Structure 1
């Protein structure tokens, strides 16, 4: 399925996104980690900051902290939110917030019963199976999430929502595509797509800031293989953050239907 999926409506417009970019660049220029290799770069840092600034959840669960830049960015967007940061290895932290609670466990192993989830959001940047994460967050009482690692067909290291909507299944790029012995292998199917449509009240992929002719993988960035919304800014716009454009991976925001 080579199409752009959108379910429900978000409380912002493309003009709102474009008009917020100057403010974001000022915020981003003050980031504590200049070289955030392995973590979010400008396209998703902006998406994270913008969407959280619009949504203003009271509780944010950050799953996958890496060096800590995402935590800092979340604080800039939602300074009054309660923040819980999860990672199975917190020794890589370069920025540690004095306002966040840190837990060195996987999301699946944390008991969230003490938290008020009425206005909450899970931010997943942990390269895990997105279907499993959706099931876990629903079981734990959450209904809104953002997924940073929303890779398209044949790309990335996890089973993403974009792959589910495409019916693509999952196998690591370096492994035999037809080997059911591959770790995390999921055969192509339409069942997960149908279940997503049944489960989701909202699904929104944040547009890229800029779109280059070629992808990070060296092939054509076209809508046949990589269905993508039009970029926020035109191809002829010069910008100092444009060199990070290829770090875009279709970051998305979603809400589950009420039970």
Structure 2
């Protein structure tokens, strides 16, 4: 075989090698893009399901909904909300949070709010049921309940959510009211409270606590929306 022929063979082999490597890299890139899009779609779907299933203010009595995702894990985490009047804690609500996680995607239903994203990049998809004006503050807190199983899987998961919603109201008097929320997404809660005119402090911890103080005397009420939620089982 001539040197030119040998060079042509080597050249073709190199081109084929480069093509195989390029196709492998392209396949990996496409695979990651598909997985990322699927995870984003799951997070968006779960956020919408949380919003539709949990209606702490509007609902009373037995309710039923579903949460659907392609892959991931749905579980609860301990979270408290403290209410302070003129700096003194008057109520501590064991609100807890229902959390969906898949890779770097996270959605939480916490105290009536739907929170999306990880700690440094989270936002409130749905705000908590808190009403504030110059004369009045109504702090609504949704409490999940204790009968919630961890649900996980892949290939498509749909789980039922049953609630039996009741409401209780506590008169806080006329005073300066503070709300302290345990949360893994403190930045999202801080921005929410600041937009509503509160002075905000963050206390370190696992998780951190965001305390919002609404300065000035307002007529205050705490409304606990007890969901008595049951999560688990197939729809």
TM-score (normalizing by structure 2): 0.25
Which one has a bigger Cα radius of gyration? Answer: 2
Which structure has more strand as a fraction of its residues?
2
TM-score (normalizing by structure 1): 0.23
